[in-house]
Amino acid sequence: MDGGLVGVTSGVVAAAAFMSYAVRGRSSRVFGESYYHGDRSKPALALTFDDGPSESTPKLLETLDKYHVPATFFMCGENVRRCPDVAREVAARGHELGNHTDSHPRLDFKSPRFIYGELARAQETIQETTGAKPRWFRAPYGVRWFGVAQAQQLLGLRGVMWTVIGRDWRWPSARVSGLLVNNASNGGILCLHDGRGVRPAPDIGATIEAVEYTIPRLQERGFEFLTLTQILCPQN
Ligand SMILES: [Zn+2]
């Protein structure tokens, strides 16, 4: 290889690495305003759940009530239309609702028009069904793309990733609990799932067990659980 080709190759590698960070990096703001933690000087945590509401969400609501913990639920429009009563129950119990697209697609390589449609349909369904207007958006799989920034802006949404992601869709509850307990830190945003994409009646047993184990342990360590708005916009 001559020097020119080496230069071109390393340039391509660097560009690919940059794109990968831009699309999936939890701190990336390349495709729009995005947050991944709150105030690091305060012992507060935000518990967030993606991919709901589902037929399995009510059991999780009971656990959160038991510990008087408010959470933030990133809902998919399709799930809200399938389980409207559950969506309303989540809001009625004082939890915050966020937007997680309508049908849970990966947004990379999609057109700005497609992306806007996904966010707008979810926003409309959530608002019409529950009366709550989401102010936070979390991209499925954490994948952002061209057009997300504009869609967020038009719909009054701000992007949110996470500080710690629980891998509760794949791991047994003990491993999820260990990850959360060991990695919780001031201002942390914890990400779990009360659904699995837009699949009906998902098994979220590992999620519920992990929540049941983790909340009292983190409360004992002095952490207070807050909604995303409380942790990211404490003045509101
Ligand atoms: Zn998701």
- Residues 67 and 214: beta-carbon distance below 8 Å: no
Distance CA 10, CA 91 (A): 50
Residues facing 52 on adjacent strands: 75
Compute, in angstroms, the gap from residue 73 CA to the centroid of ligand 1. Answer: 11
pLDDT range class, residue 3, cuts 50, 70, 90: low
Residue of 50, 102, 168, 194 marked active site = 50
85 CA → ligand 1 middle, Å:
20
- Which spans in the chain are helix H? 3-24, 57-66, 77-82, 84-92, 112-130, 148-155, 173-183, 205-220, 228-232
pLDDT band per the 50, 70, 90 thresholds, residue 61? very high
> Has 68 been annotated as catalytic?
no
32 token code pair:
């729009």
**195 CA from centroid of ligand 1 (Å):** 8
Contact 65, 93 (CB under 8 A): yes
Catalytically annotated residue among 95, 100, 104, 193? 193
- C-alpha 220 – ligand 1 centre gap (Å): 30
Q: Give pLDDT tens digits for 171-193.
A: 999 999 999 999 999 999 999 99
> Is there a catalytic annotation at residue 2?
no
Q: How far is the CA of 147 from the centre of ligand 1 (A)?
A: 19
Residue 53 near residue 195, CB atoms below 8 Å: yes
Residues with a beta carbon under 5 angstroms from ion ligand 1: 50-51, 140
222 near 75, Cβ under 8 Å? no
Residues 99-148: tens digit of each pLDDT = 999 999 999 999 999 999 999 999 999 999 999 999 999 999 999 999 99
